[in-house]
Amino acid sequence: MKDVLLIAVYAFLGAAAAGLLGALALRLLRHRSVTASLAVVAAVAVSAMLAGTLAVAWEMFLSSHDLKVVTLVIAMAAAVSLATALVLGRRVVTSSHQLALATRSFGEGGSFAAPEGPATAELAALSRELAATSARLSASRERERALETSRRELVAWISHDLRTPLAGLRAMAEALEDGMAKDPERYFRQIRTEVERLNAMVGDLFELSRIHAGALALNPARMSVHDLVGDALAGADPLAREHGVRLVGDRVEPVPVEVDGKEMTRVLANLLVNAIRHTPADGTVAVAAEARAESVVLSVTDGCGGIPDDDLTRVFDTGWRGTEARTPPGGAGLGLAIVRGIVEAHAGSAAVHNVHGGCRFELTLPAAPS
């Protein structure tokens, strides 16, 4: 028993010495290639075995012939271990280099393509994560480009829409100042009308900027959809009478929702005004609401004749006004963008699709908790 204990002690001391030297080598090579680290690990394993064997052989006075045999066997094992470590290290370095090149192209604005060929499980997992990140960044860049295009269009359209009423206001003010106006009262009324249009446009721009900045503060309260729709229909009734359009709201279920009443009233008002202006006289604008699985769907159906399929995906874009026939007088193309922004702020969604003789705008809102 004593001999076994001594052998274990001497073997441990020899292996520990090799391990300490290996740890020092790994520390010195920590910034070098993984190939060097793997070679050191293989060398430490073989050196620890050799050091322990030599220590035991020296203590036990093993014959020189037997010691040579043991040393030769360990040397062969060392050669095979080092060769295996170098091959493995080379594979890892090659895979890492290919991954670095693919990542470099990804960082320069391109898309990430995982390098071909076998890779370790960790590198393969890293490639998958980089590919997923690349897809998300590509989608983000596409959204950013679309938003930038929309902003440029909006600036151009707003500049044009502001220039016309401002020029008119300037002309009327000069006519009044020079005493050239034959009917000053009419000029005053026209000036007030133009100022109200400008004020509405500025209000829409301010509301849209709050939505885009995420600064839209909501004060949700539990209310019935029936009451929400009733208030919106009452507010839009004078405009509908002026255009000879019938408003219908007999398919509204009294389901509860938890929304900001002021903001949602603005949403419905925008949709109703848009629908009334694009529905011909003697046409009908219908409002409906129904409960679905964990949601409430509000819809406004008009008689505009439909929207071209190519424009359906752009209806809610900032500044979109479609064809000239669908462009309201003095409109800046902000109403439907505000509709989508407010609905999405309520964790809902807005959509539009064509129906017979017109189109239907649908707002999906979460149902109020019971």
The β-bridge partners of 132 are none
Q: Which has more confidence, 302 or 5? A: 302
Q: Which residues contact 232 (CB under 8 A, 6 or more apart)?
A: 265, 268, 269, 272, 287
Q: pLDDT for 147-168, tens place per residue?
A: 777 677 767 777 777 777 888 8
The residue assigned the tokens 């509860």 is 256
Among 10-19, 72-81, 218-227, 309-318, the least confident range: 10-19
Helices (H), the chain: 2-28, 34-60, 64-107, 121-177, 184-212, 225-243, 261-277, 309-312, 335-345
- Rounded to an integer, the average pLDDT of 209-237 is 86
Burial of 295 (0-12, 13-18, 19+ CB in 10 A): middle
Distance CA 36, CA 29 (A): 7
Return the closest-CA partner of residue 208 out of 319, 328, 341, 317.
Answer: 341
Residue 63: per-residue pLDDT: 65
CA-nearest of 345, 367, 346 to 255 is 367
Going by their DSSP bridges, the two strands 221-224 and 246-252 should be labelled as unpaired
d(CA 204, CA 339): 11
Task: Say which residue the tokens 């424009």 belong to.
Answer: 311
- Relative to beta strand 284-292, strand 246-252 is parallel
Q: What pLDDT is recorded for position 357?
A: 87
Residue-wise pLDDT for 200-216, tens only, equals 788 878 887 787 777 78
User: Tens digit of pLDDT for each residue in 81-140?
Assistant: 767 766 766 776 777 777 777 677 665 666 666 666 666 666 677 777 777 777 787 788
Q: Are 138 and 111 in contact (CB under 8 A)?
A: yes
Of 351, 347, 172, the residue nearest 260 (C-alpha) = 347
Distance separating alpha carbons of residues 186 and 125, to the nearest angstrom: 74
**In whole numbers, what is the pLDDT of the chain averaged over residues?**
78
Q: How many CB atoms lie within 10 A of CB 267?
A: 29
